[in-house]
Structure 1
Amino acid sequence: MQIGQASKQAGISRQTLQYYLMLGLMEPTERTPTGRRLFDEKAVERIKLIKRLNKSGYPLRAIRELFIEGRSGEKGLA
């Protein structure tokens, strides 16, 4: 699904999702040959998780660090 559909399913604005992408909180699942960003259901669940953590008081940069730690095999959320 495209960015507008993904943001709608996750309950955030398109601009917020673009901000998450800019901060490196997530990346699109794939890109079309014309450069459109596409997202799958797993990506939508990650967007929802970011939203919940942020509403719980976690700054976006701290959330990003949690995801980075998870990718490197340390305790994290990835």
Structure 2
Amino acid sequence: MNVSEFSKHMGVNPHTVRYYDKLGLLDDVYRLPSGHRYFQEKDIAWFEFIQRLKGTGMPIEKIRIYAALRKEGKKTLASRQDMLKEHSAKLQQKIQIEQQHLVKLNDKINLYQCALDGKISLD
């Protein structure tokens, strides 16, 4: 599929696909003799993983490093695993902080509900 079809399939703007390609994240996408990109099933899984890393807060520069290591093959498995472990630990810490924020937010919501129900007075 071409960039337009691929972007529709992935639910992103074609500019996003081209931007990722420009950054070198899609270097292994098949190129037609005309230079146009031709996306295959394997590209869908890789693009989804890029989106997942981005969605979990991994900076683009780190994703670029990960992509470069991936391109080098099996000899970089340990390095890639280390990167993902580090990112996982940071994400876990962020989730714990967000959960604490959620508890405090819900406490405030409940406080307001008690005031609205006349159970307490907020002056």
TM range (shorter): 0.7 to 0.9
Identify if the C-alpha distance between structure 1 residues 71 and 37 changes in structure 2 by more than 3 Å, giving closer, same or farther.
closer
C-alpha distance in structure 1 between counterparts of 2:61 and 2:69, whole Å: 12
Structure 2, unaligned runs of 5 or more: 82-123
C-alpha distance in structure 1 between counterparts of 2:5 and 2:25, whole Å: 18
Q: How does 1:54-65 map to 2 (within 5 A)?
A: 54-65=54-65
Alpha carbon RMSD of aligned pairs, Å? 1.8
Counterpart residue type for residue 76 of structure 1: R
Map of 1:76 onto structure 2: 80
CA contact (8 A) 1:28 1:39 kept: no
C-alpha distance in structure 1 between counterparts of 2:34 and 2:64, whole Å: 28
Counterpart residue type for residue 23 of structure 1: L
Q: Which has the higher contact order (CA 8 A, sep 6+)?
A: 1
CA contact (8 A) 1:29 1:43 kept: yes
**What secondary structure, in the 3-state scheme, does the structure 2 residue paired with 1:76 have?**
helix
Q: How does 1:18-57 map to 2 (within 5 A)?
A: 18-27=18-27, 29-57=29-57
CA contact (8 A) 1:7 1:44 kept: no
CA contact (8 A) 1:29 1:37 kept: yes
Q: How many residues align?
A: 77
TM-score between both structures, scaled by the size of structure 2: 0.55
Select the structure of larger CA radius of gyration. 2
**What secondary structure, in the 3-state scheme, does the structure 2 residue paired with 1:27 have?**
coil
Give CA-to-partner distance per residue, 1:7-49, whole Å, 9 cap, x none: 1112211000100000001126322233321110111211111
Structure 1, unaligned runs of 5 or more: none
